[in-house]
Copies of this chain bind each other. A is one copy, B any other.
Amino acid sequence: MDGAQGRPGRVFMLRIDDGEKLVENLGSYIRENDISTGSVSLVGAVKWARIVTPDIEKKPMPDRESMLEKYMEVVGHGDIVGGKVHIHAAFGEKGGNGYCGHLVEAEVFVFVEAVIQEIEGIEARREHDPKTGFKKLVLNS
């Protein structure tokens, strides 16, 4: 476990439009506004979503990408580290049946709305972690 202490910075509200890529556009907005560290929450709907979920039978990377090819409501949360966004989301298809995963990309249906809270005073980055094979969040206050 490792942690760092900062303070709230700017807050952004964002609308991503029908047919636009959710993660790509959110990432562009974050870069254009120089948001280095923060958290993000989003609500909306998508026409499809590419997600990653754990698949411990796959080696060496214990993850697997899945394509959810359906219109779904979405509620997601993530963090921003080194200007890059990392989102996990829950999805509900017609009737409400639920899905969840690490969001790789999705196409917006109608609208997605996001709120970004910038965090000041924390320098966060990701570094390759030999132990897990994944990018590790490294923190300095």
Contact = CB atoms under 8 A, between A and B. Distances in A.
Given A5-B33, A8-B117, A95 B66 contact: yes
A95 B67 CA distance: 8
Main secondary structure of the interface of A (DSSP, over half): strand
A139 B15 contact: yes
Contact of A137 (B11, B33, B88, B111): B111
Interface residues of A, number: 81
B2 A15 contact: yes
Interface in A1-38: 1-8, 10-18, 20, 25, 28-29, 33, 37
A115 B54 contact: no
A29 to B, nearest CB: 5
